[in-house]
Amino acid sequence: MFETIVVGTDGSPSALAAVRAAGDLARAAGVESVHVVTAVHAYSGADIKDMEAKLPPEFHDVISPHLRADDRITQAEDVLRPFGIRPVGHELDSGAADAILDVARAVDADLVVVGARGLSPIGRFFRGSVSTRVAHHSPCSVLIVEHAD
């Protein structure tokens, strides 16, 4: 089964669904920890406000993280605690897909778990899809967790 599981989170509901799925799989596999990855974007508050003013609201989450990186790891820990799973946090200064893929390679992951936001075709065109990129470039199996809002 799976011994090394990597999950990506940005604090969104779909990412937390992925963290839950990773915790459930880890518990079933008898794994004690899950590698939790979050991408860090170094923007000042003024930079974020300026960018948000120039973009439609549906694109704000590209530049405005849901939570600070350390808060995302803490949030993942709260989700994993009921499963008895310890998070191993990874904060990388890169795009989300690249961060997840880099950690998956570094820890020789058996499984990567990511959430699917359900972007519209236009959203996928402009932003791309983290889950699609991870699925296409992952060195191991990938589980894409759908989340209904």
Report pLDDT digits (tens) over 86-113. 999 999 988 889 999 999 999 999 999 9
Look at residue 44 and tell me if it is in a domain: yes
Q: Is residue 119 part of a domain?
A: yes
Domain that holds residue 110: 8-70+83-146
Residue 76 is encoded by which pair of tokens?
A: 């993942």
56 part of a folded domain: yes
pLDDT of residue 7: 98
Is residue 128's pLDDT more than 60? no
Residue 64: strand, helix, or coil: coil
CA dihedral 110→114→118→123, nearest 10 degrees, is -100
1 within domain boundaries:
no
Rg of the chain over Cα atoms, rounded to whole angstroms, equals 15
Question: Is residue 67 scored above 50 in pLDDT?
Answer: no
126 domain residue, yes or no: yes
- pTM given for the model: 0.79
pLDDT above 80 (res 121) = no
Instruction: Give the angle subtended at the CA of 11 by the CAs of 60 and 142, to the nearest 5°.
Output: 105
pLDDT for the residue numbered 71 = 83
Whether 45 is covered by a domain: the verdict is: yes
**Total domain count for the chain?**
1
> Tell me: the pLDDT tens digits for 1-46?
899 999 999 888 889 999 999 999 999 999 999 999 998 765 566 7
CATH number of the domain encompassing residue 61: 3.40.50.620
In a domain, 2, yes or no: no
Strand ranges inside 1-149, DSSP E: 5-8, 33-39, 86-92, 111-116, 141-146
Whether 124 maps to a domain, the answer reads: yes
